[in-house]
Amino acid sequence: MSESFNATDYLVGRRLAAGEGDRVAVRAPSRTLTYAELDAEVGRVAAGLAALGVQPEQRVVMCMVDEVELFTGILATMRLGAVAVPVSTMLRGPELSVLVADSRSRLVLCSATFADVTRAAVLATRQRGGDVGEVVVTGDDPSGFGPEVGARTWAEMLAAGEALGGIPPAYDTWDESQALWLYTSGTTGKPKAAMHRHADIRTVCETYGQQVLGIRAGDLCLSVAKLFFAYGIGNSMFFPLSVGAAVVLEPSRPTPALLAELAARHRVTMFFGTPSSYGPLLAAAESGQIDAAAFATVRQGASAGEALPARMVNGMRSVFGVEVLDGIGSTEALHIYLSNRPGEVVPGTSGVPVPGYDVEIRGTDGRPVPDGETGTLYVRGDSICTGYWCRTATNRLVFEGEWLRTGDTYIRNADGTYTCLGRTDDVLKVGGIWVTPAEVEERLVAHPSVAEVVVVAVSDDDGLDVPVACVVPREGHTVDPEALVAWCREGLASFKRPRHVIAIDEVPRTATGKVQRFRLRELASARVGEGRALQAAL
């Protein structure tokens, strides 16, 4: 028999049992909640969900902004023994309908901001015979979901719960019970729901949260990544609540100006960013748009999502005085399993394994490779999901016993740190020599005219791969292909230089912030092909 354990009790109930109910837990635009107030609100939401017929192990899809409703909705769902399924707010109706149908959810919770998207998704799901029977919308307008769907406001749901006459007790879940499903980004295919247990939440708190971050009760966390990300839900919920700390929730798009204002106003102590946020922050500080002193209270920064360029690690330290711990995690692992450590940061690397996790770099034969040789990264640890929902063939490819095949190409350095070389299917072979996109990108992003860059492979006339750089210019600059190629020649071996440089307005990313290289490969191939056709016509 598995151990009785409920993640909501671990995150909130323990604080009340320890007499810490008066501590601030959540600061959101709408209101601030102490742990006692958070516990009471979670109980009210749980009663409302129960009044709508939510049962243990049923899925509840949530398309919501980072506010008190989503925060309590996740915790209340897990309290009832049901499965919280927060999904990306960047999805359009047809995309969201796929996830709603795939999860077999009967209930969808949505913010008023995304009512139109959710409405389109629910109607499409119902037309295909989906299971949705109830929708709850924050705000005042729950209309338009069709006659077969019971739609109501958040206030009406809470009122239905109050009519029950009491708050339902926490369900007797086990450590092995399903608590949270998170849909993967789908960089090369359809999204898949990674299924996480209640115990997985405790694991990431006690490994990365406490033994790497060193988070403590006096901390105040601010995360660029939202709650529907694996990275974001750890930063903004699991880690702070596990030690009695507090979090700042922000529903708006995290611009440099907004992040600086929030950090200064709340006196944030832990800041969780991504490579796509640190670059704009540095640019805004260098141009005088924000005051570097805004981050003066931040004692620790962190980064994940993709490899953080060394110039950003060094820049955050020199401009803001913030040490950033770059690491790598995944939806499947729930959070970070390789990370730099405080006071021991090695710029340009993912650091070393987080306590509780083992990693191996394996070659094409499936065997571990020696230090200094590249291979695919594998990881094992107690927070690895139990698998993907209804994806048997994919499960057999990705999960090998205790090990998760990450699909990332890595190398272990002589000092024991690990360096990311890109996705396994993104590494290029130029003239018979392996070239990693990350190495070329690191050189290009150091050029003063470059804001972001992604290097992909495009076949030449002989069918051989050549590197193509897709460049987003800094504000006030243009892309000069010849200058950027020359810049690469100066800092890299000649064969590593991009054969083509194309300008793009923005880097396409998935709902979880990862680069969609397949889209850039398609774009680059088309652009390069147009150039060849023009040359042939001259």
Q: What is the pLDDT of residue 479?
A: 94
Number of other CB atoms surrounding residue 125 within 10 Å: 24
Query: In this predicted model, what pLDDT tens digit does every residue of 158-202 receive, in sequence order?
Result: 999 999 888 888 899 999 999 999 998 644 457 899 999 999 999
Does pLDDT of 536 surpass 60? no
Residue carrying structure tokens 């930063």:
235
Measured on CA atoms in the order 140, 145, 148, 154, is the torsion positive or negative? negative
Does pLDDT of 42 surpass 60? yes
Mean residue pLDDT of the chain comes to 92
Does pLDDT of 431 surpass 90? no
How far is it, in rounded angstroms, from Cα 237 to Cα 233? 5
Would you give the DSSP letter of residue 92? -
Does pLDDT of 92 surpass 90? no
Q: Are 200 and 524 in contact (CB under 8 A)?
A: no
Does pLDDT of 532 surpass 60? no
Does pLDDT of 461 surpass 80? no
Q: What is the pLDDT of residue 413?
A: 96
Helices (H), 52-197: 68-79, 93-103, 115-127, 154-162
Confidence at 258, pLDDT banded by 50, 70, 90: very high
Of the chain, the percentage scoring pLDDT greater than 70 comes to: 95
How far is it, in rounded angstroms, from Cα 52 to Cα 515? 39
Taken in order of first residue, the domains within the chain and their CATH numbers are 7-183 (3.40.50.980), 253-423 (3.40.50.12780), 428-537 (3.30.300.30)
Name the amino acid, one letter, at 307.
A
Residue carrying structure tokens 């398609």:
522
Q: Are 379 and 447 in contact (CB under 8 A)?
A: no
Read off the tokens for 447.
């050029």
* Partners of 405 in beta bridges: 378
Confidence at 491, pLDDT banded by 50, 70, 90: confident
Task: Name the packing angle between helices 35-51 and 154-162 (round to 10°).
Answer: 90
> What SS3 class is residue 322?
coil
Reference 250, options 274, 221, 282, 279; nearest CA is 221
Q: What is the pLDDT of residue 466?
A: 85
Query: In this predicted model, what pLDDT tens digit does every residue of 261-308 receive, in sequence order?
Result: 999 999 999 999 998 899 889 999 999 999 999 999 999 999 998 888
Q: Are 385 and 391 in contact (CB under 8 A)?
A: no
Name the amino acid, one letter, at 217.
A
Q: What is the pLDDT of residue 128?
A: 86
How far is it, in rounded angstroms, from Cα 186 to Cα 288? 37
* Partners of 300 in beta bridges: 270
> What SS3 class is residue 207?
helix
Confidence at 80, pLDDT banded by 50, 70, 90: very high
First to last CA, the chain: 76
How far is it, in rounded angstroms, from Cα 230 to Cα 180? 10
How far is it, in rounded angstroms, from Cα 50 to Cα 44? 10
Count of residues for the chain?
538
Rounded to two decimals, the pTM is 0.87
Q: Are 273 and 291 in contact (CB under 8 A)?
A: no
Reference 55, options 203, 221, 220, 168; nearest CA is 168
Q: What is the pLDDT of residue 535?
A: 47
The arithmetic mean of pLDDT across residues 442-464, rounded, is 87
